[in-house]
Structure 1
Amino acid sequence: MDHILFWNARGAGSEKFRSAVHDLVKMNNVDILFICEPRIQFMGAKKCLLSLGFTDFEVREAAGFSGGIWLLWNKNKVTVEFVDSTFQSISVKVSWLGSSPWLLSGIYASPCNTARGTLWSYLDSLAARIGLPWLLLGDFNELLSFADKIGGSNHYRFGGMQDWVCRNGLIDMGYQGADFT
Structure 2
Amino acid sequence: MTQQWVAKNNLDLIGMLEPRIHLVNIQAVEKGPGLHGWKFISNESQHPLCRILIGWNTKKVTTSLVSFASQWITCDVVSLLDCRRIRVTMVYALNTPTQRKSLWNYLGDQHANGNQDSWVVLGDFNATLSLADRHGGDGNWYGHMDDFQNCIHSAELMQIPSKGLHFTWHNGQQHDRTILRKLD
Q: For the superposition of Structure 1 and Structure 2, which TM-score range results when normalised by the shorter chain? A: 0.7 to 0.9
Partner of residue 74 from structure 1, selected from 57, 65, 77 = 57
- SS at the partner of 2:152? helix
| Equivalent in the alignment of 1:132 | 117
With normalisation by structure 2, the TM-score equals 0.77
> CA separation in 1, counterparts of 2:104 and 2:53?
20
Using the TM superposition, give the Cα deviation of residue 54 of structure 1 relative to its aligned residue in structure 2, in angstroms. Answer: 4.9
Q: CA RMSD in A?
A: 2.1
Structure 2 residue aligned with 1:178: 165
Q: How does 1:15-26 map to 2 (within 5 A)?
A: 19=1, 21-26=2-7
Q: Is 2:72 the partner of 1:89?
A: yes
TM-score by length of 1: 0.78
Structure number with larger C-alpha Rg = 2
Q: Distance in 2 between matches of 1:72 and 1:89?
A: 14
Q: Secondary structure at the match of 1:173?
A: coil
The answer to whether the 8 A contact 2:30-2:40 is kept is no
Alpha-carbon deviation of 1:147?
1.2
Structure 1 counterpart of 2:111, one-letter code: A
Verify the 8 A CA contact 1:113 1:159 in the aligned structure 2: no
Unpaired segments ≥5 residues, structure 2: 169-184
Does residue 57 (structure 1) correspond to residue 53 (structure 2)? The answer is no
CA distances 1:137-178 after superposition (whole Å, capped 9, x unpaired):
100000001111221125368241110111222211122222
1:38 aligns with 2:23: no
Q: Is the Cα–Cα contact under 8 Å of residues 88 and 120 in structure 2 kept in the other structure? A: yes
State the partner residue of 2:31.
47
1:160 match: 147
For structure 1, the 5+ residue unaligned runs are 1-18
Maintained 8 Å contact 2:108/2:154: no
